[in-house]
């Protein structure tokens, strides 16, 4: 900046007013021009008020108040104090009232917004109480654009770690792009959540999460009971040597309320207990397969076992009636590893016959009288009288069946079964012996037992005077 030549130095002005000198009009003018004038220069110090300065410029200018020069001879000031900072220093329309310290290019470095009172550092129009265009550092703490990717993320982290390395931030949030709004909590070593300076949750360097423990050995480790909705998992309240699984709606301090229990210490370490205060139900497809009630156990469906082991069904013999010597001892029914079945109390069933399965060469129904064909080794309905190939009557509800091929047909060997008969051949009364008939699948009365030897299928227990029908027969061969 060039200084007006009329503004003389103090030494020059003093030389005009030495003893016996007569200052000229021009010299008096230079003296006056070298002084600040409150009216002309709008620099006022009213009595009782501080020094007051009027800004220079109109509504589209910076409204400069003070210029600061490194040297007065510099072309432009290094800093300016203005009253109308601009968001864009090159666009007068972006100016707004406020107090601003501008750099030589007109950029606001520090602004106090007149409308809101917000303070902006590097921001001419702060929208918050404090807005900083860049990072803030407080001692070793830094907040602001992430050095590793400043256009996409804002971060919070210490300056003693190189924040250009992506692993070192403490808190990160996406400010643009696909991660906009996503928040990341991070540490190059471990993350610890504390209350009263005590660790409550720890994410270790290896990714393991510990709740109540600072050194988790598993992906998730909880030092205490974990609760998920109404489910509790962890140390059993009723006994410290056990881990439990049970609902929190039941008092788990009461020993009978857990669902699953396993011993972690003591004499029964490793032992597992399945329990319920009411009943235990094993389900498949939400259907009961095994139900254990306080008084009984119910298996819903077939029961199967395999391998060389014992299956015991029953209860200890009362008053030692059967002793305690193995097979005659504890159980009422014993199936040993060789497949032998032992019964102590006898066998009771709603069925009235014992049957054996035979392969069938045609479809047969209960009550049919069957014969055995030696050529195809299958059974068929009888179709002639006094047929010595007779094997018996098809059973409908046998008490006991020999053979396991369920597609084969059970033939009654003994006991009582319904049987199809043809009483038109001869009336049948209770006590008559029966043999095969020419009517397919039917029996008829035996007239000559000697002639029917080997072809008798049973004895009539009920009568039929005429026609075709079913009667009850006691099966026996002769």
The CA distance from 173 to 143, in Å, is 11
Question: When comparing pLDDT for 304 and 184, which is higher?
Answer: 184
4: pLDDT confidence band, cut at 50, 70 and 90?
confident
Nearest to 337 by CA among 311, 317, 366: 311
Nearest to 476 by CA among 409, 385, 373, 390: 390
Q: Where are the domains of the chain?
A: 36-132, 136-188, 229-297, 311-343, 353-475
Question: When comparing pLDDT for 6 and 19, which is higher?
Answer: 19
- Distances, alpha carbon 46 to alpha carbons 37, 165, 401, in Å: 13, 59, 126
Nearest to 412 by CA among 351, 464, 453: 351
How confident is the model over 238-260, as a mean pLDDT? 96
Chain segment 439-471, per-residue pLDDT in tens: 999 999 999 999 999 999 999 999 999 999 999
pLDDT of residue 375: 95
Residue 395 has pLDDT above 60, yes or no: yes
3-state class (DSSP) for residue 257? coil
Counting every residue, how long is the chain? 478
pLDDT of residue 335: 62
The CA distance from 440 to 382, in Å, is 5
Residue 325 has pLDDT above 70, yes or no: no
345: pLDDT confidence band, cut at 50, 70 and 90?
low
| CATH classification code of 353-475 | 2.40.300.10
Chain segment 82-115, per-residue pLDDT in tens: 999 999 999 999 999 999 999 999 999 999 999 9
pTM of the entire predicted model: 0.56
Say what percent of the chain tops pLDDT 70. Answer: 92
The CA distance from 258 to 435, in Å, is 66
The CA distance from 463 to 471, in Å, is 7
Q: Are 150 and 126 in contact (CB under 8 A)?
A: no
């Amino acid at each position: 900046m060039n200084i007006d030549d009329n503004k003389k130095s103090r030494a020059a002005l003093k030389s005009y007013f030495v003893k016996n000198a007569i200052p000229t009009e021009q010299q008096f003018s230079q003296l006056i021009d070298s002084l600040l004038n409150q009216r002309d220069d709008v620099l006022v110090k009213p009595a009782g008020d501080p020094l007051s300065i009027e800004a220079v410029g109109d509504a589209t200018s910076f409204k400069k108040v003070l210029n600061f020069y490194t040297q007065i001879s510099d072309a432009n000031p290094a800093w300016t104090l203005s009253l109308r900072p601009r968001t864009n220093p090159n666009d007068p329309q972006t100016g707004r009232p406020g107090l601003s310290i501008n750099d030589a290019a007109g950029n606001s470095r520090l602004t106090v917004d007149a409308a809101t009172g917000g303070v902006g550092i590097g921001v001419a129009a702060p929208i918050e109480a404090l807005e900083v265009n860049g990072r803030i550092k407080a001692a070793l703490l830094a907040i602001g654009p992430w050095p590793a990717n400043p256009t996409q993320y804002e971060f919070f982290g210490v300056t003693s770690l190189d924040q250009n390395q992506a692993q070192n931030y403490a808190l990160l949030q996406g400010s643009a792009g696909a991660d906009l709004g996503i928040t990341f909590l991070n540490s190059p070593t471990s993350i610890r959540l504390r209350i009263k300076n005590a660790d409550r949750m720890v994410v270790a360097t290896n990714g393991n999460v510990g709740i109540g423990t600072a050194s988790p050995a598993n992906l998730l480790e909880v030092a205490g009971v974990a609760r998920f909705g109404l489910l509790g998992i962890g140390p059993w309240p009723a006994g410290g040597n056990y881990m439990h699984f049970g609902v929190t709606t039941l008092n788990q301090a009461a020993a009978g309320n857990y669902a699953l229990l396993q011993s972690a210490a003591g004499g029964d370490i490793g032992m597992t207990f399945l329990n319920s205060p009411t009943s235990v139900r094993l389900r498949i497809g939400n259907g009961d397969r095994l139900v254990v009630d306080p008084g009984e156990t119910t298996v819903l469906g077939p029961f199967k076992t395999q391998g060389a082991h014992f299956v015991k069904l029953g209860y200890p013999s009362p008053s030692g009636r059967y002793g305690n010597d193995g097979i005659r001892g504890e159980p009422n029914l014993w199936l040993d590893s060789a497949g032998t079945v032992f019964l102590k109390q006898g066998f009771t069933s709603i069925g009235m016959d014992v049957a054996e399965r035979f392969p069938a060469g045609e479809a047969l129904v209960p009550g049919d009288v069957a014969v055995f064909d030696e050529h195809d080794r299958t059974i068929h309905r009888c179709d002639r009288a006094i047929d010595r190939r007779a094997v018996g009557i098809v059973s409908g509800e046998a008490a006991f069946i020999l053979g396991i091929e369920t597609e084969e047909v059970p033939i009654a060997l003994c006991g009582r079964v319904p049987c199809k008969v043809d009483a038109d051949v001869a009336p049948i009364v209770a006590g008559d012996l029966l043999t095969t008939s020419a009517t397919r699948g039917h029996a008829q009365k035996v007239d000559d037992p000697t002639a029917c030897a080997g072809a008798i299928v049973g004895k009539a227990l009920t009568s039929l005077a005429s026609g075709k029908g079913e009667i009850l027969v006691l099966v026996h061969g002769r």
